[in-house]
Amino acid sequence: MSGYLPICKEDLEKQNIGQLDFVYVIGDAYVDHPSFGHAIISRILEAHGYSVGIIAQPDWKDPDSIAILGRPRLAFLISSGNMDSMVNHYYVSKKRRSMDAYTPGGKVGKRPDHATVVYGNLIRKKYKDTPIIIGGIEASLRRMAHYDYWSDSFKRSILLDSSADLISYGMGERSIVEIADALDSGLKVSDITFIKGTVYKTRDDSLFYDEIRLSSYEQMKEQKRYYAESFKIQYDNTDPFTGKMLVEEYPHGVYVVQNPPQPPLSIQEMDDVYALPYMRNYHPSYEEAGGVPAISEIRFSLVSNRGCFGGCNFCALTFHQGRTIQIRSNESIIDEAKKIISMSDFKGYIHDVGGPTANFRHPSCEKQLKYGVCKNKQCLFPKPCKNLHVDHSDYLALLRKLRELPGVKKVFVRSGIRFDYLLADPDDTFFRELVEHHISGQLKVAPEHIADPVLLRMGKPENSVYERFIIRYKRLNEKMGKKQFVVPYLMSSHPGSTLKEAVALAEYIRDIGYMPEQVQDFYPTPSTMSTVMYYTGIDPRDMKPVYVVNNPHEKMMQRALIQYRDPKNYDLVYEALVKAGREDLIGYDKKCLIRPVKNASHNAGKEHKNAHTTKANDKKYTKKRQGKKETKRKRK
C-alpha cells in the first residue's frame, strides 16, 4: 500500500476498512518516516497483512479521543514517542521545556507526563477487555522496577502502572509480528508468554523456565543495594544469545516476567525494514501548524546501523537496542539516498550517515554472533579488548559511493564518532577521509570529561586517549590546510564527580581556550548504569560506594565551572573554588579562572563564610530529603 495510514473515520471509509486490526496511540505527531518508531512498527504490520490506524497525541482528558477509530480487532498499541515523555517535557533542572520538536509547530503540552501510563489507563477505562501492547523507548526502559528521577521515587514496572497486557521491548520489529500472529490465531493475550523481546505479568509461576529470580519490588524499595544488584543482573542479560528469563515479584503473588531479547536482525531484514513504503514526511494535516520540527533533523540523513558496543554508563542503548551491531547493506542505503536526492527541496547535502555510533559497521568480534557479547567485559572499556575487530573499510566504501552520486555535493558525518575505536585502527585511511570530506567545519565528539575517576564511572576511556585523538586530528587538518575544529561534549555532575574533578575540567577548558555554549548536566534517565549509581550511591559493577551530586546547588556550581567565563556564573564559580580549596585560581595570573572582586580580602572572608553556610545548607537539604523519604515510607 502507499499513502498515509488512516487517522480518522473518513480515512477508513476511503480505504474501505470496516474495522482496523490495530489502533496505534502515540505521543508524537504522526511522521511516516523510518526514523520514527511508530512508522516502522505500523509499516511492518501492514507488510504482514494487518491494518493499522494512527491516533496521534489524543486529548488524554477525554476518553472518547482514543475511540475515534473504533475498537481494533486485535489490540491497541501505545508508544509515548521517539523520546521518553519526561525527557521530552523537562530539562534536568525539572523546568519545563519551551518547545516540543515532535509536535506540530513545536507546541508544548500536547502529550501528558508519563504518556504511556496515561494512554494505557485511558484505553482500559474505555475498552476493558481489548488487549493493550506498549512499546517504544519509554516502555522499553521502564519494563522492570526502576528509579524515576522526576518524582524521586522507585516505581513499579510500567506494565503494571499502564494497565497494559504486554511490553514489546527493544526495537520490536520481530516481536510485534509474532504478537500479531498469535492474537490473529485466536490466542488470548494472557496466554502470550513465549515471545522473545516481550514482558508479561502472571500469577502462575509454573510458566517459568531457566529463569533468574531478581530481588522483589518490595525488597528493592526497602534497600537500594538490592536494586543495584538486580540492575547488574538485568544489564548482563540484554544479549539475545546468553540472556535468561528474568522474574520480578510484586505483592499479592504478581510476577513481571521478562523473556530474553529478540535476536538481531540480519542485513536482509534490516534492508527490508527501510524499504517499506514510507511517505518520508509528517502527515499533511500538520502543514497549517507549521509542520513537525523534528523532521528537519532527519529528512536528509541516512541510518546505517543500530546497536552500540561502546558501553557508556549514562546511555540506555544497551537496554534498548543492545550491544550487537546490526547494519543495512550499502545497496539499501544507496537506494534510500537516491530517494532523498529526488526530493524537490534537496540542496545536495546529506546531513548524516550513521546511527548511535557512526563508525560501528560490524559486530565487535567474530565470536559475538555465535556466543553473544561478554557479560563481564566491555569491548572498549577500560582498554580495547584484544579480540576487538577494528575495520572502517565498509563504512569508508559506503561514504565514497555516496559522495559519487549525481546531485550530492557533500556527505556529512554528524552522528557520534567513537574516537577510541578510530585510534585502534592501524589503517588511518578513514580518519584522513573523514577530515578531508565529511566534516562541516566542526567535528563533534564526546569525551564527556577529562578526569579519569569520573571517566571510570562513565565507562569512557581515560583522558590520554582523547588527547592522542586531538593531536592526530590537528595534524591531519594542518597537513590538508584545513581550519576545522573539535566541539567536545562535556557533562557535569556525573556520579563520581566532586568539585575537585569539576575544577579540573574547568582548568582543561581554560588550557584549550574553549568556551562551551552548552553544557549537559548528568540526566538520570531510566535504566542506565549511571542512574542506578545516582539513586543508590553504589556502582553496580563492583558494588562500591560512589560520590553522587544530588544537591541542586552543587550541581549549579559544577555546571558553572564549565562555563566559568560567563559573568552570570561568577558568584557560583567563586563559591565553588573557595569550597574546593582552589583560591589559587582566583587572581590575575593567566592560569586563574576568575579575577578577585573589589576589596578582595573582605570578600574572600565573606565567601569563605558563605562556603561554610553552603555546607550547612547542604546538610540541611540532605536531612530534609531523607526525612521526606522516611515520612513517605511510613505513610505507605
pLDDT tens digits, residue range 486-503?
A: 999 999 999 999 999 999
Q: What is the residue-wise DSSP string for 445-495?
A: EEEE-S-HHHHHHHT---HHHHHHHHHHHHHHHHHHT---EEEEEEEES-T
Mean pLDDT of 464-482: 96
Q: What percent of the chain has pLDDT over 70?
A: 94
The answer to whether position 476 is within a domain reads: no
- Same domain membership, residue 172 and residue 312: no
Q: Is the C-alpha dihedral spanning 590, 593, 597, 600 positive or negative? A: negative
User: Percent of the chain at pLDDT above 90?
Assistant: 88
Across 73-77, 307-311, 627-631, least confident range = 627-631
Instruction: Give residue-wise pLDDT tens across range 252-283.
Output: 999 999 999 999 999 999 999 999 999 999 99
Q: CA 353 to CA 415: how far, in whole Å?
A: 7
Cis geometry, peptide bond prior to residue 363 (ω within 30 degrees of 0): no
Of the three residues 431, 458, 481, the one that is the final residue of a domain is 431
On whether both 45 and 189 belong to a single domain, the answer is yes
Cis omega (within 30 of 0) for bond into 293: no
Mean pLDDT on 440-465: 94
Structural domain includes residue 19: yes
Q: Is the pLDDT of residue 619 over 70?
A: no
Same domain assignment for residues 46 and 166:
yes
pLDDT of residue 376: 84
If one compares 622 and 459, the residue with the highest pLDDT of the two is: 459
Q: In the prediction, which pLDDT does 368 show? A: 85
Which of 196, 205, 191 minimizes the C-alpha distance to 247? 205
Residue identified by cell 549525481 is 406
| 195 and 64, same domain (yes or no) | yes
Q: Confirm whether 331 is domain-assigned.
A: yes
Give me the mean pLDDT over the 519-548 stretch: 96
Is 136 in contact with 81 (CB distance < 8 Å)?
yes
Residue type, 294: A
Q: How confident is the model at residue 33 (pLDDT cuts 50, 70, 90)?
A: very high
Q: What is the pLDDT of residues 69-93, one digit of tens each?
A: 999 999 999 999 999 999 999 999 9
* Whether residues 173 and 314 fall in one domain: no
Whether 84 contacts 526, CB under 8 Å: yes
Does 194 score more than 50 pLDDT? Answer: yes
**Structural domain includes residue 226:** no
Please give the average per-residue pLDDT across 427-447, as a whole number.
Answer: 94
On whether residue 267 sits in a domain, the answer given is no
Q: Between 329 and 626, whose confidence is greater?
A: 329
- 354 within some domain: yes
Q: Which of 431, 459, 477 is at the close of a domain?
A: 431
Q: What is the 3-state secondary structure (H, E, C) of 310-338?
A: CCCCCCCHHHHCCCCCEECCHHHHHHHHH
Helix (H, G, I), strand (E, B) or coil at 194: coil
Of the residues 431, 448, 468, which one is the last residue of a structural domain?
431
Residue 87 located in a structural domain: yes
On whether both 179 and 325 belong to a single domain, the answer is no
Residues 20 and 138 in one domain: yes
Provide the pLDDT for residue 636.
43
Same domain for 187 and 60, yes or no, is yes
- Domain residue limits at 21: 9-200+253-258
pLDDT at 416: 85
The answer to whether residues 329 and 282 touch, using CB atoms and an 8 Å cutoff, is no
Based on the domain organization, do 36 and 176 belong to the same domain?
yes
Using the Cα atoms of residue 496, residue 498, residue 500 and residue 503 in order, give the sign of their dihedral. Answer: positive
How many domains are contained in the chain?
Answer: 2
Amino acid in the structure at residue 256: V
- Tell me the mean pLDDT in the region 594-607: 58
Q: Is the pLDDT of residue 352 over 80?
A: yes
pLDDT level of residue 605 (50, 70, 90 thresholds): very low
Instruction: Judge whether 54 lies within some domain.
Output: yes
What pLDDT is attached to residue 504? 97
**Alpha-helix runs per DSSP H in 168-223:** 173-184, 217-222
Q: For the domain that residue 176 is a member of, what is the CATH number?
A: 3.40.50.280
Beta-strand relationship, 31-32 and 281-282: antiparallel
To the nearest whole number, what is the mean pLDDT of the chain? Answer: 93
Exposed, middle or buried by CB within 10 Å (0-12, 13-18, 19+), for 537? Answer: middle
The pLDDT tens digits for 368-394 are: 878 889 988 899 999 999 999 999 999
Asked if the model's pLDDT at residue 415 lies above 90, the reply is no
Whose cell is 557479560? That residue is 375
pLDDT at 609: 45
Looking at the structure, do residues 178 and 29 belong to the same domain, yes or no?
A: yes
| Same-domain check for residues 196 and 306 | no
Indicate whether 307 and 416 sit together in one domain. yes
CATH number at residue 353: 3.30.750.210
List alpha helices for 134-203, DSSP H: 136-141, 158-161, 173-184
Measured CA distances, 262 to 165, 450, 493 (Å): 19, 37, 35
